Amino acid sequence: MKAIVIGGGIGGTCAAIALKRFGIETEVFEAVKEIKPVGAAISIWPNGVKCLNYLGMKEALRELGGQMRYMAYNDFAEGSTLTRFSMEPLVKSVGEQPYPVARAELQALLLDTYGRSEVHFGKRLSHVEEAADSVTAWFEDGTSATGDLLIAADGTHSVVRKQVLGYAPERRYAGYVNWNGLVDIDESIAPADQWTTFVGEGKRVSLMPVSGNRFYFFFDVPLPKGLAQDRSTVQQDLQGYFAGWAAPVQKLISMINPETTNRVEIHDIEPFMQLVKGRIALLGDAAHSTTPDIGQGGCAAMEDAVVLATMLQTHSLGIEDALLRYQERRAPRVKDLVLKARKRCDVTHGKEMAITEQWYQDLRQETGERILGGMCETILGGPLE
Ligand code: FAD
């Protein structure tokens, strides 16, 4: 059996690694010559970590991951702590740690685990042709590749999605802009072993530790879509949006490197239940595009990869049957993740400011039990309990 994998991001590489481990032949095609991830880092929650462990990356991931032992929310203006609690109860109940990691390092780990030299870079898919017992991927350079199945891990702007669904769903602007990057850890901003988030005015500023004594930081600001972006004014822009915020936030803004700070307008796509058609399967953001508000988009791609490979390995009624079983298991799970993230997004970013203000009040009473309980439920919904 041979699988054609389109996309060499998190989803495509995880799928290729998983299939290869089960002895299924794979060929990975990636559009760009060099992958430049859209964000600086990513939090891999224990459901994602378990998938990477399962795929043989346990030790390597530990090396890359930051130690996030505590979680805290701070008031935006005062900088005072609204709530702070240990993440140990979460780790104990799900049986694994979360690991925030720099994206470039995660991408390198995934490519090296699969075999970087085996990936065909600079191959942009144009369309897919289906036959009774094969699938052919056609690339913009006129070349093609044929396999028994095709895994479309070609991201949120997937060209294969329309062919699977029969229509092209629109991406939905979630109403806020996210700036993210990496800075050296400075404990006058936040403790080195804590996920710290300053909240107020429907905005947030967050810091998570990654390896190499660095913080992954991000700023969220509700803004209209399509504003002009200019790297040279990132710090002034953030100073304006966060005027009146506490001293650690001002210090963070002064420390960021505009050249390596990413600006992303956050989108998602209304969930759909069809993830496969014949011998074609959508995987990762191609199958489910979510806002990053519960940090689960990449983790869900890792879950997809494990489930898809398992269905192909453990069932013998043919490829189409195995893909339908993948769809049956994944569609409700990823719908739930997208909608949970959307709900969190709206509360965090002041869609209805009265609800957001109530959340700020609730945080003052939070012991960690409610927040960690919600996270546990999400994490335990993954395929590797
Ligand atoms: P992508 O990473 O987009 O990869 C798709 C690949 O396919 C790309 O390399 C692309 O070049 C290639 N490609 C595209 N079109 C073609 C084509 N026609 N032919 C060939 N190749 C093609 N997730 C988490 O789990 N935790 C987090 O903390 C988190 N934080 C996030 C923060 C932000 C600001 C954002 C925007 C997202 C975040 N996510 C997070 C989500 C996560 O980044 C995505 O879900 C994940 O990268 C999806 O991986 P993917 O492989 O499906 O898609």
Give pLDDT tens digits for 5-31.
999 999 999 999 999 999 999 999 999
The model's confidence at residue 1, banded by pLDDT at 50, 70 and 90, is: very high
d(CA 34, CA 192): 32
pLDDT for position 129: 98
Q: Specify the ligand 1 atom closest to the Cα of 35.
A: 9
Q: Write out pLDDT tens, residues 167-207.
A: 999 999 999 999 999 999 999 999 999 999 999 999 999 99
Confidence at 385, pLDDT banded by 50, 70, 90? confident
- For strand 214-222 and strand 172-184, is the pairing parallel, antiparallel, or unpaired? antiparallel
In the predicted model, what is the mean pLDDT of the chain? 97
Q: Is 154 in the pocket of ligand 1 (CB under 6 A)?
A: yes
Local confidence band at 38 (pLDDT 50, 70, 90 cut-offs):
low
Residue nearest to atom 35 of ligand 1 (CA): 292
**Ligand 1 centroid distance, CA of 48 (Å):** 14
Verify whether ligand 1 is closer than 6 Å to residue 289 (CB atom): no
Nearest CA, atom 26, ligand 1: 295
Instruction: Specify the ligand 1 atom closest to the Cα of 180.
Output: 34
298 lines ligand 1 (CB under 6 A): yes
Segment 220-242 shows an average pLDDT of 95
Residue 100 CA, closest ligand 1 atom number = 28
Measuring CA to CA, which residue among 327, 335, 338 is closest to residue 151?
327
pLDDT at 272: 98
**Model confidence over 246-304: pLDDT tens digits?**
999 999 999 999 999 999 999 999 999 999 999 999 999 999 999 999 999 999 999 99
60, with CB counted inside 10 A (0-12, 13-18, 19+), is middle
CA-closest residue to ligand 1 atom 34: 39
How far is ligand 1, taken at its centre, from the CA of residue 379, in Å? Answer: 20
* pLDDT value for 229: 86
**Ligand 1 within 6 A of CB of 125:** yes
Cβ-based neighbours of 297, under 8 Å, separated by 6 or more? 284, 285, 288, 289, 290, 341
**ipTM surpasses cut 0.90:** yes
